Amino acid sequence: MTWLDPLTTKALARELPTRAEAMKVLRSGDDELMDVVAAAFKVRRRYFGRRVKLNYLVNIKSGLCPEDCSYCSQRLGSSAGVLKYTWLKPDEVISNA
C-alpha cells in the first residue's frame, strides 16, 4: 500500500485529482518514481490496454535549410543523420498527411 493507492482508485473511477494530489505526484522524488509509474500504468491499462497511438511529423522540406544556424540539424551542411530532401510535391504532401 502506497500513498498513491487512493489516488489510483480515484483515477480508475474517473475522478479528477485535487490540485494538492496532483502537486504531490509532481513533487514526488526519484525514490517514488517506480510507484508513480506503476500507478499510472494501472490507469492507462484500464482505459487504453496495450494500445499505443503514434504521431509523427513529416517535414515538407528536410535537412537542406540554406540558413546556417549552427545548432540546427536541418541546416545545409549539417552532418546530423536526418532525412535530406527538398520540397515535397503537393501530391506527396497529401499522401503523407
Verify binding: residue 72, ligand SF4, rule CB under 6 A: yes
- Residues in the chain, total: 97
- Identify which of residues 40 and 72 has a Cβ nearer to ligand SF4 in the complex: 72
Instruction: Report how far residue 34's alpha carbon sits from residue 37's, in angstroms, rounded to the nearest whole number.
Output: 5
Instruction: Report how far residue 80's alpha carbon sits from residue 82's, in angstroms, rounded to the nearest whole number.
Output: 6
Torsion of CA 15, 42, 36, 38, to 10 degrees: 170
- Identify which of residues 30 and 86 has a Cβ nearer to ligand SF4 in the complex: 86
Q: How far is the CB of 31 from ligand SF4 (least distance, A)?
A: 39
Verify binding: residue 67, ligand SF4, rule CB under 6 A: yes
Q: Given the rule CB under 6 A, which residues bind ligand SF4?
A: 65, 67, 69, 72, 74-75
